[in-house]
């Protein structure tokens, strides 16, 4: 038996080296599968987030800052400010709500209503739209998008952030746009116009 032990000693660390190599390969493949699944989750969930935000905004008073904040939080599936579950870096601050008017100059086109041109209240929007549905301040549609809040002005795409911060992927998340018809905009039935 002694000669056998001498032959096995040079092979004693081979198992540990092979195991380490196989484990590294397995963990790399497992991380890759998890990241691909998370990318698919993010792409699909952001579509749902924007649809949810647009639907809620169509029935929320755009002048009420706390209601709009709660709307953005509900859109990212939260009750408090924070990030989308498993969706870092997307937070409620990334949800952008725009109010759109329609103009009819041969072809019907959508245009964003600037904040200064929005009606004083939702009841006034009804009156404006009843007088002229193509008025530049008549809110006809509500659009929700996922935009990088660090960039003001136009809607810039959000950079995808991996679970492991050591590795980064050159991938941008979609802007995920949803457009719905404006409904009550938070105005109760029979509300009087505001000054």
| Range 27-33 average pLDDT | 93
Higher per-residue confidence, 12 vs 148 = 148
How does the average pLDDT of the chain come out, rounded?
Answer: 89
The percent of residues above 70 in pLDDT, for the chain, comes to: 94
Alpha carbon 170 to chain centroid, angstroms: 18
Highest mean pLDDT among 13-17, 91-95, 121-125, 163-167: 91-95
Domain presence at residue 128: yes
| Range 3-7 average pLDDT | 54
Domain presence at residue 129: yes
Domain presence at residue 190: no
**Which pair of structure tokens corresponds to residue 122?**
């939702």
pTM beyond 0.75, yes or no: yes
Domain presence at residue 143: yes
The whole-angstrom separation of Cα 4 and Cα 188 is 90
- Could you give the angle at the alpha carbon of 155 between the alpha carbons of 148 and 67, nearest 5°? 70
Containing structural domain, residue 49: 2-181
Write phi, then psi, for 155 (nearest 5 degrees).
Answer: -90, 110
Specify the 3-state DSSP secondary structure of 78: coil
**Which pair of structure tokens corresponds to residue 183?**
């409904």
The arrangement of strands across the sheet holding 141-146 comes to 108-112, 95-104, 141-146, 178-181
Domain presence at residue 189: no
Query: Is the pLDDT score of 12 beyond 70?
Result: no
Number of compact structural domains in the chain: 1
Query: Is the pLDDT score of 49 beyond 90?
Result: yes
Helix (H) or strand (E) segment spanning residue 2: helix 2-8
Q: pLDDT value at position 105?
A: 82
Domain presence at residue 188: no
| Range 25-35 average pLDDT | 94
Q: pLDDT value at position 4?
A: 55
| Range 138-147 average pLDDT | 96
Specify the 3-state DSSP secondary structure of 181: strand
Higher per-residue confidence, 38 vs 194 = 38
Q: Give the DSSP per-residue string, 25-86.
A: HHHHHHHHHHHHHHHHHHHHHHHHHHHHHHHHHTTS-TT-HHHHHHHHHHHTT-SSS-BPTT
Q: Give the DSSP per-residue string, 141-159.
A: EEEEEE--TTS-SS-PPPB
Residue 9 pLDDT class (50, 70, 90 cuts): low
Angle, in degrees to the nearest 10, between helices 14-57 and 65-75 = 140
Domain presence at residue 186: no
Q: pLDDT value at position 189?
A: 80
Q: pLDDT value at position 179?
A: 97
Query: Is the pLDDT score of 100 beyond 70?
Result: yes
Listed in order, strand segments (DSSP E) in the chain are 95-104, 108-112, 141-146, 178-181
Domain presence at residue 192: no
């Amino acid at each position: 038996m002694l000669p056998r032990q001498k032959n096995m000693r040079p092979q004693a660390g081979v198992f540990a080296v092979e195991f380490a190599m196989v484990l590294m390969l397995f963990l790399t493949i497992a991380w890759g599968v998890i990241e691909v699944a998370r990318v698919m989750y993010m792409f699909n969930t952001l579509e749902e987030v924007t649809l949810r935000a647009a639907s809620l905004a169509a029935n929320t008073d755009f002048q009420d800052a706390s209601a709009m904040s709660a709307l953005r939080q509900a859109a990212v599936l939260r009750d408090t400010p924070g990030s989308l579950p498993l969706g870092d870096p997307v937070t409620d601050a990334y949800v952008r709500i725009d109010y759109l008017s329609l103009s009819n100059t041969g072809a019907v086109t959508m245009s964003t209503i600037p904040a200064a041109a929005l009606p004083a209240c939702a009841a006034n929007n009804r009156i404006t739209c009843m007088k002229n549905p193509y008025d530049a301040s008549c809110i006809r549609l509500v659009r929700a998008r996922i935009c990088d809040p660090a960039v003001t002005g136009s809607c810039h795409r959000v950079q995808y952030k991996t679970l492991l911060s050591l590795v980064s992927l050159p991938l941008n998340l979609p802007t995920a746009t949803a457009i719905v018809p404006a409904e009550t905009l938070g105005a109760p039935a029979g509300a009087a116009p505001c000054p």
